[in-house]
Amino acid sequence: MLLFLSVPQPRPPGARTRAGAARLVRWRRRQRLRLRQLQLRRLRGLLRGLRRRPGTGGRRPNRMALCGQAAGAASLPSELIVHIFSFLPAPDRLRASASCSHWRECLFYPALWPQLRICLRVSPAEQPRLEFLMRKCGWFVRELRVEFAAENYLSGGGGPGDGGSSGGGTDTGTGGEDGEALQLSSRWLEVLRIYLELVLCVLLSIRNNRNLQKFSLFGDISVVHQQGSLSSTYLSRVDPDGKKIKQIQQLFEEILSNSRQLKWLSCGFMLEIVTPTSLSSLSDPIANTMEHLSLLDNNIPGNSTLITAVELERFVNLRSLALDFCDFTAEMARVLTDSNHVPLQRLSLLVHNASVMLKSLDNMPNDEHWKALSRKSSSLRVYLMVFDVKSEDMLKILKPSIPLERVHFDSYVTCVSGAIVDLISRQYDKFLTHFILMNDMIDTSGFPDLSDNRNEDPLVLLAWRCTKLTLLAIHGYTVWAHNLIAIARLRGSDLKVLQVTEESIDFDQGELADQDVDPVQNLIEQVSLGLGQSWHAVLDIESLSVFTEPNRHFYREMQSFSEDI
């Protein structure tokens, strides 16, 4: 006879009853608590061991032993390493990840990289780094900001593609100027080729990212020439059949169509990436919840616009908007004042001479439209970036009811007149906080004088009338020393930033004739006394990004301006 004996197996306390299930849950909680306490004891022991060094007088100086086992950095749980990494800035995380393979695996946990901000030089060395970073983070990052910039592309050496070009004109037998032009051309072809590869890398890595909430692209690599932008000419040589550009445009639309949480979309000066049909890829639920939209591109041909008033009707939750001024029509202003739209609070407009020449100003909002926008939102503020626009066009653009808070003039051909500065100080004295006046026009006769044939200097009147003025930057216009002292005294400590280049400052003959006083030192002392802080003129204009990189400066200021709601 065979006897089968049932041997009871050990199991957690409890039975198949409600009371037994509750005991089972409590038992599991105790087990997890014991495990967490054990991990914490190991971490404390590890930190104690790291603090001890031979000869410090502590007991067991060279020993890190917990529970009879050696505890090293590699034995820490992944969750604990990720938690420690979360307190470190990004560069320190990267250095710490080099300790061991286990720490390196913990480096790219999604919780550590909710946002990614990348500033790239368009050079071959950046491509493998970008590919590695985007492969690791592109599929989960929630906020992505990428800036592309070509460095030294107009300099005689060190520009992108120098190493790959073969002798820039030495084999052609041409003259020096032709050889230099050929070398510049070859460098720019290389810049655009790498640029397209980097953009493709970014877009391919996030095409299936459904967690993306903020997406911002900036790519100011346009070549400014006497005849305008040459980027499109070089682009046709790099991508003659247009396959890469078409692939980039399709990827951009695919990202928009796949997005499920996108709240912020910003694209500035990217070559032919955004098309007039790109926004149609956004689903209605995403368009209805979008809070910021920025579409800035000087390379759109003819009368094409990146967004129409009909398309704007879907963006009912828009709080900040950035567009080309010629694209912001009276019909758009009417749409933004509809009752189903939330009040718009920030509006950034790019006024470019190329757009003004190609597009008409007849459709721009009139003063009544601006009044309606201000009634809809009392907190609406406007930021104007003006490139080489004639004074007669500016007189049409500057409507009295615009709540203008910031204005930036940048000139290469057309200078700003004193009448325009005077008009701004009279119409926008309640709102204006930032005023930037830049001129890079080469003129052997000297810088233009805004106070010429006037009783009062327009800049002094600006400082007197605009009581909220906090930033004033000037280059390429004559600023008399006594007027600069008057500006500092009028605004005092409320004027946080006063940047004037040394070459823009001029002195009266009486000041120069006084042998007892150093006019430069006296100016520094008087302006510093008026501002209540140490002040010096800007000696190196290259240190001012607002002068050397006006597009990038405007784009970054526009971002912070839109976020400051």
**Domain spans of the chain, in order of start:** 78-112, 116-152+186-273
Query: Nearest Cα to 306, choosing from 236, 361, 353, 355?
Result: 355
What six digits make up the tokens of 12? 């957690």
Q: Structure pTM? A: 0.80
| Cα 91 to Cα 280: distance, rounded to the nearest angstrom | 39
Tell me the DSSP string of 352-365.
Answer: EHHHHHHS-STTS-
Q: What is the DSSP string of 61-118?
A: TT--EETTEE--GGGS-HHHHHHHHTTS-HHHHHHHTTS-HHHHHHTT-GGG-SEEEE
Residue scoring higher pLDDT (214 or 20)? 214
Q: Is the pLDDT assigned to residue 246 strictly greater than 70?
A: yes
SS3 category, 510? helix
Compare 3 and 86 and report the one with higher pLDDT: 86
> What pLDDT score was predicted for residue 452?
75
Neighbour tally for 550: CB within 10 Å:
20
Least confident of 101-115, 266-280, 319-333: 101-115
What is the rounded average pLDDT of the residues 417-441? 93
Q: What was the pLDDT predicted at 100?
A: 82
- pLDDT at position 210 over 80: yes
Write down the pLDDT at residue 166: 34
Mean pLDDT of the chain: 82
229: burial class by Cβ within 10 Å (0-12, 13-18, 19+)? middle
DSSP 214: E
Local confidence band at 437 (pLDDT 50, 70, 90 cut-offs):
very high
pLDDT at 284 over 60: yes
Smallest Cα–Cα separation from 420: which of 467, 384, 446, 372? 384
- 254-272 pLDDT per residue, tens: 999 999 999 999 998 887 7
Has residue 484 got a pLDDT over 90?
A: yes
3-state helix, strand, coil in the chain (%, to 5): 45, 15, 40
In the structure, what pLDDT confidence band is assigned to residue 367 with cuts at 50, 70 and 90?
very high
